[in-house]
Amino acid sequence: MLFNSYEFLFLFLPLVLLGYYVVLPKRWRLGFLSLASYVFYGWWDYRFCSLMFLTTVVDYVAALGIHRSRTTVGRRGWLLVSVGSGLALLGFFKYYGLFAHTGNGLASWLNGSPVKVLPELQLILPIGISFYTFHSMSYAIDVYRGVVTPARSFVNFACFVSLFTQLVAGPIIRYRDLAEQLIERTHTLEKVARGLAFLVLGLVKKVIVADGVASLVTLVFADAQPGLLASWAGILAYTVQIYFDFSGYSDMAVGLGYLFGFQIAQNFNSPYQAESVTDFWRRWHMSLSTWLRDYLYIPLGGSRLGVRRTYINLFLTMLLGGLWHGANWTFVVWGGYHGVLLALERAFGGRAATGRFSPLLRRAVTFLLVMIGWVFFRCDTVSQALSLLGGLIGLHGWGVDLLRTQADAIALVMLPIGLAVAWFLPNTWQLRYRFTWWECLLLVVALVICVMVILVNSSSPFLYFQF
């Protein structure tokens, strides 16, 4: 189920709000939220609820084991159970296909003829597995490190893992940020108002801006050799789409959290206003970058083991961070690309080196570097990405015809709007949530438009719905 779907806005959310605030006693609220979250997750495929439940049980038990164990070996053993099971699940469902396909390809190349050394299973990737396994693993690791104490009850923990507001698309929440709120949290009109505002703004970003440019992205990226203008338009459109889609969803997650009394951390902080790639990663998907820092980069040694090792750790962290995004070598290339940029910045791009350039120039260069990375992120293959990059420098002609004849007018209007908002306007966390009458009216109009767009996009015309 998606937040911007009919069944979420018109069925699920009203029922959950009704149950949470009106029907059920307070002590049942967490259990009810957990159950609702499983319904939310199972809406896509009920069979995978068992996977999430298994992860929850394993990590809950492992954390208790870590906490109660008196020996380091015992504690490490339980930690291995948690991390091992999480990585095994993730590795199997998400990455087995990639490695089997790559392994078979390599074996065939070595053999000189097609050969299959690994069976290529048609696995369904459980939605959100990357998020809930990371939620769950970080809990066990934090218990191991003594940062948090184990959850008071299984229901509390289950609610933390499965909470529908951030289950399928983040932010990646740490247990320590939610622990106290699971036990006690306030429900005020102020929170509701803030939550609704976040929800509406998130909907606008996702439904109006991101979905508005989507057709242009599809059009250009479907072309084998897009021309210069088409390539720039397509890549800029994707740059807008991924930011507004992801940050919009995060805003909706935050807003929904507020509706139930939870305060969820910020995940995006105007990343396209970053003045360096390092700065970009302090602003983009912050919950993931800090997770990678705390649970991968620092355990690898961080910057404590010398300059060369620092660069290697940076590179490895970003490489694996890229792989986390998807089971395709293009994601690995994207991650590695950012790893190289971060290492280079660390080596040569300190404030002393870049301080003499204007902030606008620094932002422009950073934006360009990030945009180039998105090409690999979006393309299905490296060769497709290289073809698109070739289009950026005019290797395939001007590409005017594609835009003139097939580009959607809405996408062409939404693209500069999206860029302007991303570059120049404050983000949702920088707004002061005390609106004037006019601002309130604007929000209401925006909500109505978003709802209408959702209604249009989720329904079929009244022609054959009854057959």
Residues forming the site for other proteins (CB under 8 A)? 1, 5-7, 10-11, 14, 42-44, 46, 171, 177, 181, 188-194, 196, 218-219, 221-223, 258, 263-267, 269, 282-283, 286-287, 290, 406, 409-410, 429, 433-435, 437, 440, 444, 451-453, 455-456, 458-467
Compute the least distance from the CB of residue 176 to other proteins, in Å.
9
> Catalytic site residue 325?
yes
Residue 261's region, left for phi above 0, alpha for psi from -120 to 50, else beta, is left
Integer Cα distance of 375 and 373 in angstroms? 5
Nearer to other proteins, 351 or 434 (CB): 434
Instruction: Please name the amino acid found at residue 22.
Output: V
Shortest Cβ 437–other proteins spacing (Å): 6
How many other CB atoms are there within 10 angstroms of residue 248's CB atom? 26
DSSP state letter for 283: H
Between CA 378 and CA 214 the distance in angstroms is: 12
Residues 253 and 199: their CA atoms lie apart, in Å, by 8
Show the tokens assigned to 354. Answer: 């870049």
Closer residue to other proteins (CB): 332 or 378: 378
**Closer residue to other proteins, CB minimum distance, 120 or 190:** 190
Nearer to other proteins, 90 or 173 (CB): 173
Least distance in angstroms from the C-beta of 282 to other proteins: 4
- Quote the crossing angle between the two packed helices 49-68 and 72-90, to the nearest 10°: 170
Which one, 66 or 233, has the nearer CB to other proteins?
A: 233
> What distance in Å separates the CA atoms of residue 3 and residue 204, rounded to the nearest whole number?
12
Q: In angstroms, what CA-CA distances link 112 with 97, 107, 109, 115?
A: 22, 8, 5, 9
Q: Report cis status (omega within 30 of 0) of the bond before 171.
A: yes
Shortest distance, position 458 Cβ to other proteins, whole Å: 4
Question: How many Å is the maximal CA-CA distance in the chain?
Answer: 72
Beta carbon nearer to other proteins, 67 or 187: 187
Least separation in angstroms between residue 367's CB and other proteins is 19
Please name the amino acid found at residue 107: A
- CB neighbours (10 Å) of residue 456? 9
Cβ–Cβ under 8 Å, residues 287 and 265: yes
Between residues 65 and 257, which has the closer beta carbon with respect to other proteins?
257
Smallest distance, other proteins to C-beta of residue 106, A: 27
What is the spatial distance between Cα 42 and Cα 54, in angstroms, rounded to a whole number?
A: 14
Closest distance to other proteins from the beta carbon of 44 (Å): 8
Catalytic residue among 67, 101, 187, 325: 325
Centroid of chain to Cα 44: 18
CA-derived radius of gyration, the chain: 23
Tokens of 100: 């089997």
Which residues are marked as active site? 325
